[in-house]
Amino acid sequence: MRNKIEKSLGFMAFVMSALFLAVFVAGCGGGSDGSGSGATTVSLGAAGNYAILAKTGVSTVPASVVTGNIGLSPAARGFLTGWSLIPESIDSSFTSAQVAAPGKLFAADNVGGTTSVDLTTAVANMGTAYTDAAGRTATSAATTNVGAGTLTSLTLTPGVYVWGSSVNIPTDLTLNGSATDVWIFQITGTLDMAAAKNVILTGGALAKNVYWQVADAVTIGAGTHFEGIVLGQTSITFGNLASINGRLLAQTAVILDATTVTAP
């Protein structure tokens, strides 16, 4: 009888240990974003100090409204076109009626302070962030080539989405997830969104956790509202009265037309 009891107690101890191990492993999984999608945030480094950052130019048709900083490098101030630039006394930055305080505009030829060095670092970090996002692996087959590149009336859950083509968004697009969930959209071609449409975040999803890595031009239609961090390898263009809650980080130019840009 004693042997039977000891064997029974030993078996129960084994089962409890196995259960504890399973719970521990489960608790450690799912990635740091807590979504279980495998998607984690992309570090922007110093590029995250800007609502808009570009290499060759940032132009606007007044009156755009930007909440956050605007940076341009290696191009000089002459390529900040359409902005009412008010230089500061030490020539480290500009203020503008179109940039909400405390936001400022910075160009590579601002000689005051550390502006030139700061911009060089930010532009390098922008490239690193682009490469990071472009190198992520698709969450699953279900997040690969969704809609054959045409996203019509979809609700997308968190994850890494990959297209080996251009992407067109002809309707509203909903992203549903929590405040810690992450979306990364890898697009080999162009990204186009129709006029008067919306990217809608639900369930507590945050624009700062949505990344659009686009190898070709980004074009957002007039009157459309967009959400997320745009990492563009070429140009980013927003149509008349379009808006974004996010950042525009372009490796060529950013082109605005009475656009509202709000850094998240």
**How do the pLDDT tens digits run along the chain, 264 residues long?**
444 434 444 444 443 444 333 333 333 333 333 334 669 999 999 999 999 999 999 999 988 999 999 999 999 999 999 999 999 999 999 999 999 999 999 999 999 999 999 999 999 999 999 999 999 999 999 999 999 999 999 999 999 999 999 999 999 999 999 999 999 999 999 999 999 999 999 999 999 999 999 999 999 999 999 999 999 999 999 999 999 999 999 999 999 999 999 999
Torsion angle, CA of 183/189/195/200, rounded to 10 degrees? -10
**Do residue 190 and residue 248 come from a single domain?**
yes
**What's the rounded Cα separation, in Å, for the pair 223 and 190?**
19
**Do residue 15 and residue 66 come from a single domain?**
no
**Do residue 9 and residue 123 come from a single domain?**
no
**DSSP state, residue 209:** G
Instruction: State how many domains the chain has.
Output: 2
Please answer whether residues 225 and 243 qualify as being in contact, where contact means their C-beta atoms are separated by less than 8 angstroms: yes
Burial 101-124 (b: 16+ CB within 10 A, else e): eebbbbbbebeeeebbebbebbbe
User: Model's pTM, two decimal places?
Assistant: 0.86
The parent domain of residue 147 ranges over: 45-262
**Do residue 3 and residue 116 come from a single domain?**
no
**Do residue 130 and residue 8 come from a single domain?**
no
**Do residue 86 and residue 127 come from a single domain?**
yes
**What's the rounded Cα separation, in Å, for the pair 50 and 121?**
12
**Helix, strand, coil % (nearest 5) of the chain?**
25, 35, 40
**Do residue 85 and residue 214 come from a single domain?**
yes
Q: How far is CA 88 from CA 52, 54, 97, 108, in A?
A: 20, 21, 14, 15
